[in-house]
């Protein structure tokens, strides 16, 4: 029985591969001057609602008869939106691959950078370069720079959502600081003192040595420490630019000093001993349980009502406060902030060129949710989910009850700060604090991996070796050897050369 299933699965995979190969060999039809597609011809309206099939990852979508946003968009646009969401990212990818391979194209769908590269090279995506005039309201909303995120080989193949803002900082237990008569640390030396005191000084007063200093999501716990050395790091190495020179964190001259400082923290027992085993929100759970005094985390996972209530339930005196990035020899940065990253990329199939009415309706919808319909997909229906006090959006109680899925229709994103301050009014000070902290601007999100470079293997190797350096399993004197192995065995040099070429193409390097 198992053998039969394996044979069937193998047959399906082979067929999918053949279909993808067939699609990949199909040359895109060249239309218009310069081989670019012309703008869609004026479409004759059928007089009926235009059905649009949209797929994306997500959850919480209600049935169509309970879906207020669908109903309002359909009414405004003359559409019949059929939005399908997949809770599992892997499931979504599989479904999209099957549909692209069988030419059963959705009318709008999300892609990651690898899919953007694959599908555009196979000629399956509509080149939006020729449609920028029609998409002007959308482009005005997301910003010209966001177009670069959906650009591949000089052509725009996807619309990126508007940029987000940083959420993460260090948080520290103020009540523990008060108990130990310590001040919020402002330098790396003070950070070391506080983290060690949280481990050794019995800050919870239970007479047991059962607390420790710093935790976070694996290497992400040290983002701000790397920042104090002037190194861009966001859970892993970043790409940033100094004096028109592309720098990778791993090659930053301050990297050895930063790792040496972190090893000093580890040697002192001031770091979560299970740090590298943390997955998901295990570091948050430790903070809630009162096991740790400093955590690198985003503001929602500490200050949202449900988490604030859990913290108080465990210890009514617990008081978490955001910490400004400590000063170090390389500056004062919370982490890097990748301007090439986007919450999502939305692509349109090339096949839609043959259906101008539907293509125009997709473009109309993108423009609508970027302009007149922007508040609808953010806050719902005026007078029902929110009211306006002048230009200020005042949410009603119903927004909290029904608005959890509205983001699924924010195909071009949202004005992030304005949106968060409305949806999370109580958390406004934390939102503004995190946003104002200094970051090193990085560009890794723009980079497509070259042939012969396996990012998964390289990332795993980098994390393993950095962990060895900070836990004393490998002497820092072998750091250069580590880089040589990365270059020779992982094709890392090819990756860096390609990153430099692509950033020059996008205009970030000269």
List pLDDT tens digits, range 133-178: 999 999 999 999 899 999 998 899 999 999 999 999 999 999 999 9
Query: What is the separation of C-alpha 361 from the centre of its chain, rounded to a whole number of angstroms?
Result: 28
List pLDDT tens digits, range 178-216: 999 999 999 999 999 999 999 999 999 999 999 999 999
Does residue 93 have a pLDDT over 90?
A: yes
Q: How confident is the model at residue 23 (pLDDT cuts 50, 70, 90)?
A: very low
Helix or strand holding residue 84 (H, E):
strand 79-86
List pLDDT tens digits, range 209-251: 999 999 999 999 999 999 999 999 999 999 999 999 999 999 9
Q: Around 125, how many Cα atoms within 13 Å sit in the side-chain half-sphere?
A: 27
- Tokens standing for 369? 């949710």
Contact 260, 476 (CB under 8 A): yes
List pLDDT tens digits, range 313-334: 999 999 999 999 999 999 999 9
Does residue 43 have a pLDDT over 60?
A: no
What is the distance between the alpha carbons of residues 431 and 166, in angstroms, rounded to a whole number? 9
Rounded to 10 degrees, the C-alpha dihedral 114/118/119/120 comes to 100
Is the Cα torsion angle 268, 273, 279, 281 positive or negative in sign?
Answer: negative
Burial of 188 by CB count in 10 Å (0-12 exposed, 13-18 middle, 19+ buried)? buried
Does residue 39 have a pLDDT over 60?
A: no
pLDDT at residue 13, rounded to an integer: 41
Does residue 2 have a pLDDT over 80?
A: no
List pLDDT tens digits, range 341-363: 999 999 999 999 999 999 999 99
Does residue 28 have a pLDDT over 70?
A: no
pLDDT at residue 333, rounded to an integer: 98
pLDDT at residue 7, rounded to an integer: 39
What is the rounded average pLDDT of the residues 382-409?
95
CB atoms within 10 A of CB 164: 16
pLDDT at residue 451, rounded to an integer: 87
pLDDT at residue 44, rounded to an integer: 55
Task: Give a three-class secondary structure readout of 160-219.
Answer: ECCCCCCCEEEEEEHHHHHHCCCCCCCEHHHHHHHHHHHHHCCCCCCCCCCCEEEECCHH
List pLDDT tens digits, range 451-509: 889 999 999 999 999 999 999 999 999 999 999 999 999 999 999 999 999 999 989 99
What is the rounded average pLDDT of the residues 44-73?
92
pLDDT at residue 445, rounded to an integer: 92
What is the rounded average pLDDT of the residues 77-106?
96
pTM of the complete model beyond 0.95: no
Q: Percent of the chain beyond pLDDT 70?
A: 91
First vs last C-alpha separation in the chain: 60
What is the rounded average pLDDT of the residues 90-111?
96
Q: How far is CA 366 from CA 160, 161, 280, 362, in A?
A: 11, 11, 33, 6
Is the Cα torsion angle 195, 201, 205, 208 positive or negative in sign?
Answer: positive
- Tokens standing for 437? 């902290």
DSSP code, position 236: S
DSSP code, position 150: G
- In whole numbers, what is the pLDDT of the chain averaged over residues? 91
Does residue 365 have a pLDDT over 60?
A: yes
What is the distance between the alpha carbons of residues 109 and 87, in angstroms, rounded to a whole number? 15
Angle between helices 89-101 and 113-121 (to 10 degrees): 0
What is the rounded average pLDDT of the residues 65-91?
96
Contact 234, 169 (CB under 8 A): no
User: Shortest CA distance to 302 belongs to which of 325, 320, 282?
Assistant: 320
The residue with greater pLDDT, 48 or 125, is 125
List pLDDT tens digits, range 241-289: 999 999 999 999 999 999 999 999 999 999 999 999 998 999 999 999 9
- Tokens standing for 322? 């955001």
DSSP code, position 277: G
What is the distance between the alpha carbons of residues 381 and 492, in angstroms, rounded to a whole number? 51
Enumerate residues 6+ apart whose C-beta is below 8 A from 453.
490, 491, 492, 494, 495, 498
pLDDT at residue 46, rounded to an integer: 63
Does residue 381 have a pLDDT over 80?
A: yes
């Amino acid at each position: 029985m198992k053998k039969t299933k394996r044979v069937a699965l193998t047959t399906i995979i082979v067929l999918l591969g053949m279909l993808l190969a067939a699609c990949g060999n199909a040359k895109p039809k060249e239309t218009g001057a310069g081989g670019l597609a012309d703008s869609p011809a004026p479409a004759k309206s059928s007089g009926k609602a235009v059905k649009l099939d949209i797929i994306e990852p997500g959850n919480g979508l209600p049935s169509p008869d309970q879906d207020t946003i669908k109903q309002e968009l359909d009414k405004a646009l003359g559409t019949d939106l059929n939005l399908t969401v997949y809770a599992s990212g892997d499931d979504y990818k599989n479904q999209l691959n099957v549909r692209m391979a069988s030419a059963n194209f959705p009318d709008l769908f999300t892609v990651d950078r690898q899919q953007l590269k694959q599908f555009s090279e196979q000629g399956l995506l509509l080149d939006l370069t020729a449609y920028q005039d029609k998409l002007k309201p959308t482009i005005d909303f997301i910003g010209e720079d966001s177009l670069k995120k959906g650009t591949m080989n000089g052509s725009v193949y996807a619309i990126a959502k508007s940029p987000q803002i940083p959420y993460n900082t260090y948080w520290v237990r103020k009540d523990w600081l008060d108990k130990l008569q310590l001040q919020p640390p402002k330098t790396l030396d003070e950070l070391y003192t506080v983290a060690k005191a949280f481990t050794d000084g019995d800050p919870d007063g239970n007479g047991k040595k059962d607390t420790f200093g710093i935790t976070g999501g694996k290497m992400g716990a040290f983002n701000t420490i790397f920042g104090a050395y002037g190194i861009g790091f966001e859970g892993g190495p970043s790409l940033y630019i100094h004096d028109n020179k592309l720098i990778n964190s791993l090659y930053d001259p301050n990297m050895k000093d930063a790792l040496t400082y972190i090893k000093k923290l580890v040697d002192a027992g001031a770091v979560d001993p299970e740090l590298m085993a943390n997955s998901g929100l295990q570091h948050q759970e430790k903070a809630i349980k009162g096991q740790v005094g400093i955590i690198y985390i985003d503001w929602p996972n500490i200050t949202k009502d449900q988490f604030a209530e859990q913290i108080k339930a465990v210890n009514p005196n617990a008081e978490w406060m955001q910490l400004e990035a400590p000063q170090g020899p390389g500056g004062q940065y919370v982490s890097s902030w990748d301007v090439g990253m986007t919450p999502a990329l939305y692509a349109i199939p090339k096949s839609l060129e043959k259906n101008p009415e539907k293509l125009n309706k997709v473009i109309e919808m993108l423009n609508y949710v970027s302009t007149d319909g922007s508040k609808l997909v953010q806050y719902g229906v005026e007078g029902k989910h929110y009211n306006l006090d002048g230009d200020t959006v005042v949410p009603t109680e119903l927004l909290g009850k029904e608005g959890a899925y509205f983001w699924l229709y924010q195909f071009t994103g949202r004005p992030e700060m304005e949106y968060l301050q409305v949806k999370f009014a109580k958390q406004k000070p934390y939102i503004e604090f995190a946003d104002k902290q200094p970051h090193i601007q990085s560009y890794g999100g723009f980079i497509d991996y070259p042939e012969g470079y396996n990012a998964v293997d390289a990332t795993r190797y980098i994390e393993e070796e950095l962990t060895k350096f900070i836990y004393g399993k490998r002497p820092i004197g072998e750091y250069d050897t580590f880089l040589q192995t990365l270059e020779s065995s992982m094709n890392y040099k090819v990756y860096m050369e390609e990153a430099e070429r692509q950033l020059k193409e996008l205009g970030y390097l000269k």
